[in-house]
Amino acid sequence: MVIALCVTVALAIMPLVGVPKSWILYIFLFFIYLAMANMWNLLAGYSGLVSLCQPAFLGLAGYAMTIGTWLDIPWWAGMIGGSLIAGLFALLISSAVFRLSGVYFAIGTLVVPEALRMIFFLWRPVGGAMHGAGAGYMIKGIGDLSPHVVYWLSIFVGVGSLFLVKGILRSKLGLGLSAIRDNERAASSSGIDVFRLKLYVFIISAIITGFAGTIYYLYQGYIEPTATFNVRWTMTLLLATVIGGIRTVEGPVVGTVVVVFLYFLLARYAGYSLLIQGIILVGIMLISPQGIVGILRRSKFYDSIVKRMK
Amino acid sequence: MIYGGDIITPILMGIMLGGLYALIALGLSLVFGVMRLINLAHGDFVVMGSYIGYALMRNFGIDPILGLIISIPVMFVLGFFIQKYLMGRAFAIASEIPLIIAFGISLIIQNAHQIIWTPLSRALNTPYSHMSFHIGERQFPVSYLLDFVAGILIMLFLRWFLKRTYLGMAITAASQDKRVAQLMGINTGRVYGYAFAIAMVSAAIAGVFLGMTFPFTPTSGISFLTIAFGTVVIGGLGSMLGTFIGGIILGVVQTIGGYLFGPASQMLLVYIIVLVILAIRPQGLFGK
């Protein structure tokens, strides 16, 4: 616990002591991806919901915030409102996609961001200057917003999501989820409302993913549909979670470090970075289905570190 | 695509385009039917077929359809080994691992294409693919007709193969009940390998006709995977005839969507229909 706190504080004061800007950017990305990967782990790992529609949540939240700034709603209110809209959207589509199970759930959710991309491509909610080839919007009124604040927000959401996952797993909701995962029929006959528990997780993950998305777009300064509702987001989250170790709390942390580190290492060769991630993914799955954490857990040294972190 | 005139033209184009979609989806449907695996790399295998055709055409001047004589054995062997050394092992670990491995293969192929061929858009331009033919007053590209003919032929061939040949019946048996098939003396490991290899061959063929119809880039695989998903969802996973009809429906819906709402939103109608069918009848219109 103490070590974790020290690391967080050290990372938080980094921009104040003159650490290179590119480092800050990678740490920022790490925390954004970490928050989203944690939420994906909660869905796919702990609830058996292989959701491929996470870009829909972060995109809707981002768009809500951006459009809000054009209507003179301050960015911080837009962040909260946008996250809630993402949660509402999860509630809205749940009635359709929750009828599907397993593979069909994955296919059904995959289509959602694709449809949203086309809608936002055609829809022009507010007038004014468009940005980029995808005809997106600039975020208004964040000129005096310090980049440090955006960076700290990312730490907040990254670390916060980690505590949230831990908290959920210890709560009644988490216990219900593990019962559902082990045997859905037995859980439901023992009085667990399967639909409601899954819905809670789906909405929580949508809100947090949306919140992390708004922070990402605050940093980027504009939003456009093609890169927003893009399957690349899903790929990043899946890679980070699965390489690290799905269905483990530490997994997304380890996996996100690997993903961001490869990003950093191979920044000039974007194609090679994904190629290597693909090879790592296939290799690790064949060696250890529980990812890097699965391999690490076999060693005693790792055990002692984890115990001290707790 | 912009269509002038009446609604008959987009419907006819949609039917022909549907042949191509069916061709792309047949391999996905076969692998799902046999192994219960959603092969996320299928779209990239199709694009790989397009690039092999492109390489043969550019370097040796071989016509892409003739080039299939070379690419089919290559893809067959590759498919067999992917199943034997990656997927087969993955199935032994846990049921969701093959899906993740397929995703990893998709990433590898996509980025290998990007490195070898650069992200530029390519096309298989042959003298005949740009010609057009007439149905009454209406004019259509020859490549669309080729798509449709190839779609029907491959679908009929796969149906015949699965029902009438020994290997085909073994594949069907293994997909219906793996354990009983093993008791009857079928080597299911090898049968899975052949099924995957045949799916790869269909991807190679689909890739060539795709390349003659649309330009392709290293990342095209994802959009064609989505189309193949849609086709298979409409038609029903695992059924060859259902997949073909699903392809036609999807093609027609897309072109009518383009006709009614303009080219930018032609896929929107498709996605809505896919979502509606998933919600009402997840096993597809022709699935069991």
Confidence of residue A309 (pLDDT cuts 50, 70, 90): low
Tokens (6 digits) for A183: 């045997």
Tell if the CB–CB gap between B97 and A285 is shorter than 8 Å: yes
In a domain, B207, yes or no: yes
Q: Quick check: B120 contacting A, CB < 8 Å?
A: no
Distance from CA of A295 to the nearest CA of B (A): 15
In a domain, B87, yes or no: yes
Query: CB of A86 within 8 A of CB of A209?
Result: yes
Rounded CA Rg of chain B? 19
In a domain, B86, yes or no: yes
In a domain, B89, yes or no: yes
Chain center to CA of A245: 15
Is residue A213 predicted with pLDDT exceeding 70? yes
> What is the tally of structural domains in chain A?
1
Across A202-210, average pLDDT: 97
Query: CB of B213 within 8 A of CB of B143?
Result: yes
Confidence of residue B4 (pLDDT cuts 50, 70, 90): low
Chain B positions touching A107 (Cβ under 8 A) are: 38, 229, 233, 278
Listed residue (B146, B139, B141, B120) closest to B131, CA to CA: B141
In a domain, B128, yes or no: no
**Which residue on chain B is closest to A289 by alpha carbon?**
B97
Is residue B254 predicted with pLDDT exceeding 50? yes
For B145-192, what is the HEC assignment?
HHHHHHHHHHHHHHHHHHHHCHHHHHHHHHHHCHHHHHHCCCCHHHHH
Q: Which residue has the higher pLDDT, A213 or B138?
A: A213
Is residue A108 predicted with pLDDT exceeding 60? yes
Per the structure, the complete domain to which residue B175 belongs is given by 8-117+141-280
| Strands A136-138, A130-131: pairing kind | antiparallel
Across B126-132, average pLDDT: 83
Angle (CA) B102-B105-B109 rounded to 5° is 140
Q: Quick check: B90 contacting A, CB < 8 Å?
A: yes
> What is the tally of structural domains in chain B?
1
Tell if the CB–CB gap between B275 and A108 is shorter than 8 Å: yes
Tell if the CB–CB gap between B264 and A121 is shorter than 8 Å: yes
What ipTM, to 2 d.p.?
Answer: 0.85
Tokens (6 digits) for B231: 């086709």
Looking at residue A132, what is its pLDDT? 47
Q: Burial of A138 by CB count in 10 Å (0-12 exposed, 13-18 middle, 19+ buried)?
A: middle
Tell if the CB–CB gap between A281 and B100 is shorter than 8 Å: yes
For chain A, what is the HEC assignment?
CHHHHHHHHHHHHHHHHCCCHHHHHHHHHHHHHHHHHHHHHHHHHHCCCCCCCHHHHHHHHHHHHHHHHHCCCCHHHHHHHHHHHHHHHHHHHHHHHCCCCCHHHHHHHHHHHHHHHHHHHHCCCCCCCEECCCCEEECCCCCCCCHHHHHHHHHHHHHHHHHHHHHHHHCHHHHHHHHHHHCHHHHHHCCCCHHHHHHHHHHHHHHHHHHHHHHHHHHHCEECHHHHCCHHHHHHHHHHHHHHCCCCCCHHHHHHHHHHHHHHHCCCCHHHHHHHHHHHHHHHHHHCCCHHHHHHCCCHHHHHHHHHHC
In a domain, B266, yes or no: yes
Q: What percent of chain B has pLDDT over 70?
A: 97
For an interface test with A, the pick among B117, B268, B280, B283 (most A C-beta atoms closer than 10 Å) comes out as B268
Q: What percent of chain A has pLDDT over 70?
A: 94
The span from the CA of B260 to the CA of B262, in Å, is 6
Is residue A264 predicted with pLDDT exceeding 90? no
pLDDT in tens, A31-88: 999 999 999 999 998 988 889 899 999 999 999 999 898 888 899 999 999 999 999 9
pLDDT in tens, A147-181: 899 999 999 999 999 999 999 999 999 999 888 88
Looking at residue B5, what is its pLDDT? 65
Is residue B283 predicted with pLDDT exceeding 80? no
**Which residue on chain B is closest to A241 by alpha carbon?**
B100
pLDDT in tens, B157-213: 999 999 999 999 999 898 888 889 999 999 988 999 999 999 999 999 999 999 999
Tell if the CB–CB gap between B275 and A277 is shorter than 8 Å: no
Distance from CA of A153 to the nearest CA of B (A): 31
Is residue B60 predicted with pLDDT exceeding 50? yes
Cβ-proximal residues to A165 (8 Å cutoff; 6+ apart), any chain: A38, A41, A42, A249
Tokens (6 digits) for B113: 């294409």
Q: Quick check: B264 contacting A, CB < 8 Å?
A: yes
Chain center to CA of B56: 21
pLDDT in tens, A288-305: 888 899 888 887 777 777
The span from the CA of B153 to the CA of B236, in Å, is 20
Residue A130 phi/psi, 5° resolution?
A: -95, 160
Tell if the CB–CB gap between A286 and B110 is shorter than 8 Å: no
Candidates A115, A122, A272; nearest CB to B271: A115
The Cβ of residue B54 has, within 10 Å, a number of other Cβ atoms equal to 21
In a domain, B32, yes or no: yes
Cβ-proximal residues to A240 (8 Å cutoff; 6+ apart), any chain: A33, A34, A37, A252, A255, A256, A258, A259
Helix B166-176 vs helix B142-164: crossing angle, to nearest 10 = 80
Is residue A263 predicted with pLDDT exceeding 70? yes
Cβ-proximal residues to A256 (8 Å cutoff; 6+ apart), any chain: A30, A33, A34, A37, A240, A244
Looking at residue A133, what is its pLDDT? 44
Is residue A223 predicted with pLDDT exceeding 70? yes
Q: Quick check: B108 contacting A, CB < 8 Å?
A: yes
Tell if the CB–CB gap between B111 and A275 is shorter than 8 Å: yes
Confidence of residue B1 (pLDDT cuts 50, 70, 90): very low
- Find the Cα–Cα–Cα–Cα dihedral A271, A274, A55, B275, rounded to 10°: 100
Looking at residue A96, what is its pLDDT? 81
Residue B141 phi/psi, 5° resolution?
A: -70, 145
In a domain, B192, yes or no: yes
Is residue A130 predicted with pLDDT exceeding 70? no
Tell if the CB–CB gap between B104 and A285 is shorter than 8 Å: yes
Q: What's the one-letter identity of residue B209?
A: F
The span from the CA of B108 to the CA of B99, in Å, is 14
Per the structure, the complete domain to which residue A192 belongs is given by 2-309
Which of the residue ranges A89-98, B106-115, B249-258, B259-268 would you say has the lowest mean pLDDT? B259-268
The span from the CA of B160 to the CA of A232, in Å, is 39
Distance from CA of B97 to the nearest CA of A (A): 7
Sign (positive or negative) of CA dihedral A105, A109, A115, A119: positive
